Chains A and B, each alone.
Chain A
Amino acid sequence: MLRIENLSASYGEAQVLRDVSLQVSAGEVVTLVGRNGAGKSTLLRCVMGLHPGQRGTVELDGRDITRLPAHKRARLGLGWVPDDRGSYATLTVTENLTLPPTVGPDPWSLERVYAAFPALHTRRDSAATMLSGGEQQMLALARVLRMGARLLLCDEPTEGLSPLLVQQVGDLLREAKRHGVTVLLVEQNLHFATGVADRHYLLAEGRVAEAMDNSEVRSRERELLAYLGI
Chain B
Amino acid sequence: MSGFAQNTFNGLVSGAFYALLALGLAVIFGMLRVVNFAHGAFYMLGAFGAYVLLTEAGVPFWAALVIMPVGLGLLGMALERAVIHRLTTLDPLYNFLLTFGLTLILQDLVKLRYGVQSSPYETPSLLSGSVDFGLFDFPTYRVFILGFTVLLCVAVWWVLTRTRIGMVVRASTERPDLTRAFGIDVGRWVTPVFGFGIGLAGLAGVLAAPMRAVNPLMGADLIIVVFAVVVIGGLGSIFGSVAAGFGIGLVQAWGEAYLSNFPLVSQTIVFVVMAGVLLWRPAGLFGREEAPA
Interface residue ranges, A against B (CB under 8 Å) = 48-50, 69-71, 73-75, 78, 80, 82, 84, 86, 88-91, 95, 98-101, 103, 143, 147
Determine if B186 and A99 form an interchain contact, defined as CB atoms under 8 angstroms apart: no
Q: How many residues of B sit at the interface, in one of the four size bands?
A: 10 to 19
Determine if A88 and B177 form an interchain contact, defined as CB atoms under 8 angstroms apart: no
Q: Is the interface of B mostly helix, strand, loop or mixed?
A: helix
Which chain B residues lie closer than 8 Å to A48 at the CB level? 181
Q: What is the CA–CA distance of A98 and B170 in the complex, to the nearest angstrom?
A: 13
Which chain B residues lie closer than 8 Å to A50 at the CB level? 177, 180-181
User: Most A CB atoms within 10 A — which of B167, B179, B181, B291?
Assistant: B181
Determine if B179 and A99 form an interchain contact, defined as CB atoms under 8 angstroms apart: yes
Q: What is the CA–CA distance of A100 and B183 in the complex, to the nearest angstrom?
A: 6
Instruction: Tell me whether B87 is interfacial, beta carbon within 8 Å.
Output: no
Report 26 cross-chain contacts, Cβ distance below 8 Å, ordered by A residue. Answer: A69-B185, A70-B177, A71-B181, A71-B183, A71-B184, A73-B181, A74-B182, A74-B183, A80-B178, A82-B178, A86-B175, A86-B178, A88-B175, A88-B178, A89-B174, A90-B171, A90-B174, A91-B167, A91-B171, A95-B167, A99-B179, A99-B182, A100-B182, A101-B183, A143-B182, A147-B182
Partner of B170, one of A73, A88, A103: A88
Determine if B180 and A99 form an interchain contact, defined as CB atoms under 8 angstroms apart: no
Q: What is the CA–CA distance of A80 and B184 in the complex, to the nearest angstrom?
A: 13
Determine if A103 and B171 form an interchain contact, defined as CB atoms under 8 angstroms apart: no
How many A-B contacts if CB must be within 8 Å? 66
Instruction: Tell me whether B168 is interfacial, beta carbon within 8 Å.
Output: yes
Which chain B residues lie closer than 8 Å to A89 at the CB level? 174, 288
Which chain B residues lie closer than 8 Å to A91 at the CB level? 167, 170-171, 174
Which chain A residues lie closer than 8 Å to B182 at the CB level? 71, 74, 80, 99-100, 143, 147
Instruction: Name the CB-closest residue of A to B160.
Output: A90
Q: What is the CA–CA distance of A177 and B159 in the complex, to the nearest angstrom?
A: 39
Determine if A90 and B173 form an interchain contact, defined as CB atoms under 8 angstroms apart: yes
Decide yes or no: A100 and B184 within 8 Å by CB, A91-B167, A95-B167 being known contacts: yes
Which chain B residues lie closer than 8 Å to A95 at the CB level? 167, 171
| Least CB distance, B83 to chain A, in whole angstroms | 22
Determine if B180 and A69 form an interchain contact, defined as CB atoms under 8 angstroms apart: yes
Partner of B168, one of A78, A80, A99: A99
The 6 closest A-B pairs by CB, nearest first: A74-B183, A100-B182, A70-B180, A90-B170, A80-B181, A71-B180
Q: What is the CA–CA distance of A49 and B288 in the complex, to the nearest angstrom?
A: 27
Which chain B residues lie closer than 8 Å to A75 at the CB level? 183
